[in-house]
Amino acid sequence: MANLVIVESPAKALTIKGYLGSNYKVVASIGHIRDLPKSSLGVDIDHHFEPHYINIRGKGDVIRQLKKEAKNAGKVYLATDPDREGEAISWHLAQTLDIPADKACRVCFNEITKNAVKAAIRVPRKIDLDLVNSQQARRILDRIVGYKLSPFLWKNVKSGLSAGRVQSVATRMIVDRENEIRNFTPQEYWTIDVTLGAEGGKTLNARFFGNRKGKVTLASEADANKVCDAVKNGQFTVLSVKRAQKVKQPAAPFTTSTMQQEAAKKLGFQSSRIMKVAQELYEGIDLGPELGGVQGLITYMRTDSLRVSSVAQEAALALIGEQFGKDYLPETPRVYRAKANAQDAHEAIRPSDVAIQPKAVRRMLSSDQYRLYKLIWERFVESQMAPAIFDTVLIETECGGYVFRTSGYNVRFPGFLALSDGSDETPDDEEENGGEALSISQIPDLAKKELLSLVGVDPAQHFTEPPARYNDATLVKLFEESGIGRPSTYATIITTIISRSYVKREGKSLAPTPLGEITTELLEKNFPEIVDHDFTAQMEDKLDGIENGGTTIEGVLGDFYGRFSKELTDADKETVKTEISVPEDVSDYVCERCGAKMVYKNGRFGRFLACPNYPECKNTKAVDKEGRPIEKERVAPVVADFKCEVCGGDMIERQGKFGTFYACANYPKCRFTKQKTTEIDTPCPICGAHVVIRFGRAGRKFYSCEKYPTCGFSSWDLPLKERCPDCGEPLFYRRSKKQIFCRNKNCGYKREEELPEVNE
């Protein structure tokens, strides 16, 4: 009797299925199967905040299938994600499938690799009820706030609004920043750059610093002119030349928060996109038989730990020593310490196998997957390397009692910077030099008390800038610093406040909408705790306390609800309905059907342009990131030279998620489709039929038998007519390595040769 392994996602199930053999069946629950009802509160506040769970609508078939599989299984292993949410899903599955709570059926793995999965299966544990209760408390708390507070907003603002515990605080942060920007008063300041002449015709650029007592700020033109008048006819003297070595340590491996911040800054990804791609890398990618088939490329991506396993660290050190030499290894293996409130259940985010380098798997990954994997891989390897060492120089010159500074640096030893060519990196405390970082070689070799002549002086007026609006990276950083939410929820928080029209994107920045500002003002007045940063952070700590067994659900929720219910009662008495009308976001684009100026709307799939005369005029337009309408060119459809196999109609060429395909022209009455393939002059190594070119995930090209899937042959590498001279098996060509090779593991024949591209 086979054992049953239950995971959340089909992709994860597909990956694990290849590791466990025929004695195991792996199925997916496709997320949660039970939750609080949508039509009612679902929490008995008067009886210890007892939740009432129901099966999620649409999950009936999944639940019936799981019950059937569990009944016929020898053992049932619950292998959901290794966090609070995953533990809760396992608990709900155990409840639904009648698995006793004290039965050891829970398995966890931090990475989806063959060794990790098999090791976890060998040592199942009981479901951690403290972890489950922590998730339940969070879910119940959010339900109480949302269910009780939303009707208040319907009554006093407008119908259809919804409130959330953490989302309301996040919206307030963005509103507060917008108010800072509006109330900002620019302050004038001046800089003075001088060009100084040294012996031998060499020059030195320096910037005004102050006097011998310290730094001085030039607040007006008069202040700047005073300095210029004092130095323009004088001679400069070198006060000091300070040379030093600066050591720059590598950054720690990624946590969820730092991964989101870095990917947002360097790759331009939004938080939701980052987490989606990271999930794909964790759940498994088909790397082909040479690299072990389907496997997860990174460890679990929802963590705030900086811990790294000794096995992974040793592998990284071996790779560094092999590729860069022993000088690039640290004196002792590095240990990074997380913040005091970090959850240390999982490792930091790292490659599952550091030996799988990004360039080796580039062709197997989509563009997003490759770029994020490369970022994670390089960050982890750099974190285990030796520090970078800089030679620095700081020169102070004086004239008329005023001090000017210049500074520069050279890289003495690149250390960890050698991996990603960080040639533009500077020491952490590098001084400014006219806005430019100079090389030491650009600075004349000066001595103390040496005299310099003034070649030119350049005063410039500036004004202080208001604080920038938050973007994904800076808002996630603020969440982390303030203790708002948890790493696994950051992306969801941002997505939610945008979808609810409390916040909008303007380029890469996040700005509040009028609705967000009015709602925040109303909540601040009547429910100050709900939108208070410190209170929300303290609540997160209390929820963590449940996980650690330090407190109970009833203790945390009872303490909160006593104050919240009183605020709700008082607010209902005092507040009168102030129905607002959110102004339309009018564009400069005219509706070609009725002539009205179109307005921006937010829909299920993001921002778009709509005619304001809806429903009389239903014209809409998709827009790009800058808000410009995307005009789709109408092209006559390409008709194939064969007919529909179902109804005999024409077949039309279309573009889809996985490349070009043909669809019946009578769609939707006839839904027959056929993928477009290109036949090449090579026989199938298995059955002898023709090999064709197909396109898989993200449009990646692969080769398969024309009879696929009846014949199971498929390959990323091009099959050839030529046979191996050693064993007689078919040869294959790998374009990335320009190599012809035999896939017979007992043979090993290969040769370097470049073949022309196959016409598609």
Nearest partner of 71 among 97, 105, 92, 100, judged by Cα: 97
CA pair distance 346, 352, nearest whole angstrom: 13
Q: How far from chain centre, in Å, is Cα 311?
A: 26
Rg (CA), the chain: 32
Give the residue from 90, 171, 82, 182 showing the smallest Cα distance to 129: 90
Taking each helix axis from N to C end, the angle separating 271-283 and 10-20, rounded to the nearest 10 degrees, works out to 20
**β-strand partners of 206:** 194
| Residue where the block lists tokens 């496709």 | 30
> Distance of alpha carbon 409 from its chain centroid, rounded?
34
DSSP 686: T
Q: Which DSSP letter does residue 561 get?
A: H
Question: What is d(CA 626, CA 720) in angstroms, rounded to the nearest whole number?
Answer: 48
Listed in sequence order, the residues at least 6 apart from 443 whose beta carbon sits closer than 8 Å to its beta carbon are 204, 393, 395, 406, 408
Q: Is 703 a catalytic residue?
A: no
Question: Could you give the CA distance from residue 509 to residue 471 in angstroms, rounded to a whole number?
Answer: 5
Q: CA 141 → CA 135, 257, 501, 627, distances in Å? A: 10, 24, 23, 38
User: What secondary structure does DSSP assign to 74-122, as a single string?
Assistant: S-EEE---SSHHHHHHHHHHHHHTT--TTS--B---SB-SHHHHHHHHH
Q: How far is Cα 378 from Cα 369, in angstroms, rounded to an integer? A: 14
Residue 214: Cβ-neighbour burial (10 angstroms; 0-12, 13-18, 19+): exposed
Before 615, cis peptide (omega within 30)?
Answer: yes
Going edge to edge, which strands form the sheet with 714-715? 678-683, 690-695, 701-705, 714-715
Helix (H, G, I), strand (E, B) or coil at 632: coil
What is the Cα 380 distance to its own chain's centre?
16
Tokens encoding 699: 């449009």
- Tell me which amino acid residue 738 is: K
Encode 26-80 in three state secondary structure.
EEECCCCCEECCCCCCCEECCCCCEECCEECCCCHHHHHHHHHHHHCCCCEEECC
d(CA 355, CA 357): 6
Lookup: tokens for 71 = 């009944």
d(CA 424, CA 364): 31
**Strand 402-413 with 438-439, pairing:** parallel
298: helix, coil or strand? strand
* Catalytic pick among 19, 24, 282, 300: 300
DSSP 409-476: EEEEE-TTHHHHT-TT---TTPPPSTT--EEGGGS----TT-EEEEEEEEEEEEEPPPPPPPBHHHHH
Tell me which amino acid residue 567 is. E
Instruction: Say if residue 709 is preceded by a cis peptide, omega within 30 of 0.
Output: yes
Query: Could you give the dihedral angle defined by the CA atoms of residues 439, 440, 441 and 445, in that order, rounded to the nearest 10 degrees?
Result: 150
Q: Identify the DSSP state of 245.
A: E
User: What amino acid is encoded at 530 in this protein?
Assistant: I
Q: Which residues are catalytic?
A: 300
